Copies of this chain bind each other. A is one copy, B any other.
Amino acid sequence: MSVDSSPGMSSATADDIRRAALRLFATGGYEATTMREIAAAVGIRAASLYNHFGSKEDILWDLTSTALEDLNSESEASMATLSPDATPTEKLLTFVRAHIAYHAKNGEQATLVNMQMGGLSKSHHRKSVALRDRYESRLRSIMQEGVAAGVFHVPDERVASFAILQMGIAVSGWYRPEGNLSVPQLCDVYEILANRMVAA
Instruction: List residues of A whose CB falls within 8 A of some B CB.
Output: 28-29, 31-32, 115, 118-119, 154-156, 159-160, 162-167, 169-170, 174, 181, 186, 188-190, 192-193, 196-197, 199-200
Partner of A163, one of B29, B118, B160, B170: B170
Partner of A196, one of B28, B31, B189, B196: B196
Q: How far does the Cβ of A143 sit from chain B's closest Cβ, in whole Å?
A: 13
A and B contact pairs by CB, cutoff 8 A, 20 listed: A29-B29, A29-B31, A29-B119, A31-B32, A154-B193, A155-B192, A155-B193, A156-B189, A159-B189, A159-B190, A162-B167, A163-B193, A165-B170, A166-B167, A166-B169, A167-B167, A169-B170, A193-B197, A196-B200, A197-B197
Partner of A31, one of B31, B156, B165: B31
